[in-house]
Each structure stands twice: as structure tokens, then as C-alpha cells.
Amino acid sequence: MTSGEPSAWGPPTGGPPDPYAGSYAGPWGPAPGAPTGWAGPPPPWPGAPVTDEQLRRLPPPGPLPPRAGAPVVVDQRPAVIGLAVTLAVTGSLLWVCGLSLFGVVALAGIQAMSPVGDEGVVFHTLDQFVLRMGDGLWVPLYGFPVASIVTGFLLLSRRPWTRLAHSGVGVASLAWAAWWLRDSWLSWVVVALYVGLAVAVLWAPSVGRWYDGRPRRPRTPRVAPDQLYG
């Protein structure tokens, strides 16, 4: 039984016409267009079924562009280079500091001790060290460690000649130490093991590949003087 009034659940019978009636766009705007490289017509609406022929016309996938803030992959430096630098710099600094401290103690000892009596042996030992250092022994004892520190830090510049220079300093220091410690070969063996390890790690295959992969600067073309001044 009805009262003759329109139902609230039925379609509206009055009011302004729907501006989107009969349109596929709707109130959310037009449907998205086809992707770049799409050879066929775009789908009529999002989620519409796509045929196999349309899938075959899609362009091949390419590499994705880098995202903002994404980490950039860099050429990692081998860990053995850091080991070589640490061994060279640490050992050289310890040697320089210990030698300097012993020199100060020797100078203070020969001034405070007597050359005769029970203190005579210690006095002459310290005096001989001071005299030999004054005769030029300080040049190799300080020169090789300082050169090793400099070439050790230069290894981080990724220039191939730095590896040769650092190895040359190590070989030269071992050769001089073999002559200086010719009466105590056991001391020379200890020094040779330390220096040899610090130099040998630089010739690992990964180190060679890292030095060979150093990016080179593009050469600037030379301009003739007549081109500069017209």
C-alpha cells in the first residue's frame, strides 16, 4: 500500500541535472593517459582489462632513475691500504718519540753522572750515543721514519707512484738497518718482519685494481696564442 509520494530510496525526480551524466570522466577528472611509448589506445578507465596485443606493444623496461637521497655507490678503498698506513705511521711515530726521549735522557745523564766509579759504565754508554748522533747517525734514524710517515699518508691519494715510493723507503731502511745491525741479526729480523708486512700488503691484487681504477681528469685542449688574442 502506497501513499502516492515518491520513495526516498528511488532516483531523484527533480533538481538540477547531473553535469557528469553520460561522461566517463566523473568528478575526479579525465582518465589517465597512456604511458610513454604506448602504441595502442589507452584503456577507457583505470583497472580496465588489457589485451595481449596491448601488452606486446609496451616498450621494454629500462633502468629506474636514481631516487633523491639514495646512496651513491663509490669505489671502496681496500682495507689493507689502511692497515699499511696505520703500521707505517704508528711504528714511525713510536720510533721517533722513543729515540727523542732517549736522547734527552742521555744528555741529562752525562751531565748528572760521573765518568768514574760505579756510574762510569752508564756515563760512557750515554756519551757514546750522544757522540754518534752528533756525527750524523740522526740522519737515517730520523730520516727513514719521517719519510715513511709522509709516503704513508700519500698512499691515500690513490696515485700509483706513491706505492712504489713507500715500498722504496721500506726496502732502503731495511738495507741500511742490515748494515747498522750487522752484529745483532735478531734485532734486524724483528725490524724486517714489521717493515716487510707493512710493505707486502700494498701489493695485494685488490690494491692494484684500486689504483688502476683511479678516475683520470679530462685533458684541457690547448689553445694557440693567436686564438686567444684574435
Domain range list for the chain: 79-211
The candidate with the shortest Cα–Cα distance to 146, out of 214, 204, 88, 198, is 88
Reply yes or no on whether the pLDDT at 41 is more than 60: no
Reply yes or no on whether the pLDDT at 162 is more than 50: yes
What pTM did the predictor assign? 0.61
Q: What is the pLDDT of residue 86?
A: 95
Q: What is the pLDDT of residue 194?
A: 95
For the chain, percent of residues with pLDDT exceeding 90: 40
Tell me the per-residue pLDDT of 57-89, one tens digit each, with 9 for 90 and over. 777 776 666 666 555 555 788 999 999 999 999
Q: Is 181 within 8 Å of 71 (Cβ atoms)? A: no
Reply yes or no on whether the pLDDT at 210 is more than 70: yes
Reply yes or no on whether the pLDDT at 42 is more than 90: no
Banded pLDDT at 118 (limits 50, 70, 90): confident
Q: What is the pLDDT of residue 24?
A: 47
Burial environment of residue 26 by CB neighbours within 10 A (0 to 12, 13 to 18, 19 or more): exposed
